[in-house]
Amino acid sequence: MKTIGIALLSLICLAASPTTQPQENSAVPAVLNFTMKSLAGGDVPLSKYQGKVILMVNVASKCGNTPQYAGLERVYKKYADQGFVILGFPANDFRHQEPGTDAEISQFCTTKYGVTFDMFSKVVVKGDGQCPLYTYLTSADTDPRFPGPITWNFEKFLIGKDGKIAARFKPKTQPESPEVIGAIETELAK
């Protein structure tokens, strides 16, 4: 009896011990099974955006596309009350066009463009050290409709309410273009 009690206690301890592997939550779409750092430094589980239409954008402060922040903010304000969010991911992968610290990026975005959509800590979006979220977004295995490496700053991924990647837009595609607005409105209507 004592042996059974010890074995049972061992099983209970094993079940209660934390794992070092990330656990997928099958109720959450795979693209939202990531935890990212906010510009303020806190952990943000992307699962908090479940059920929303999401535009994920890799951004930079010293790029020819940087003025897109203004358009992104206008689109965010126009559709936010309908369940639309924008998630900005600063990246320094293209000609070092995002050299700032998180605090500097935050100050730049708020003072220069009045950004109120959610911004995250700087990530790597291509090549060595690519963050897992961008590996997921660009892989042919997980995104067979829109695979391929990020080509430049301000590449945009539209995620539908169902958590599937609904569209991908090239960096030069303006946030307020008919192509982007049409896709956002289509996803919001689902």
Distance separating alpha carbons of residues 141 and 32, to the nearest angstrom: 16
Per DSSP, the three-state class of 106 is helix
How many residues does this entry show for the chain? 190
Residue of 13, 63, 109, 131 marked active site: 63
Distance separating alpha carbons of residues 153 and 137, to the nearest angstrom: 15
Active site residue 109: no
Return the sign of the alpha-carbon dihedral for residues 140, 143, 147, 149. Answer: negative
Distance separating alpha carbons of residues 19 and 89, to the nearest angstrom: 28
Longest CA pairwise span in the chain (Å): 73
What the block records as the tokens of 16 is 């209660």
DSSP state of 82: G
Report in angstroms the alpha-carbon separations of 164 from 25, 28, 59.
15, 11, 22
The catalytic residue positions are 63
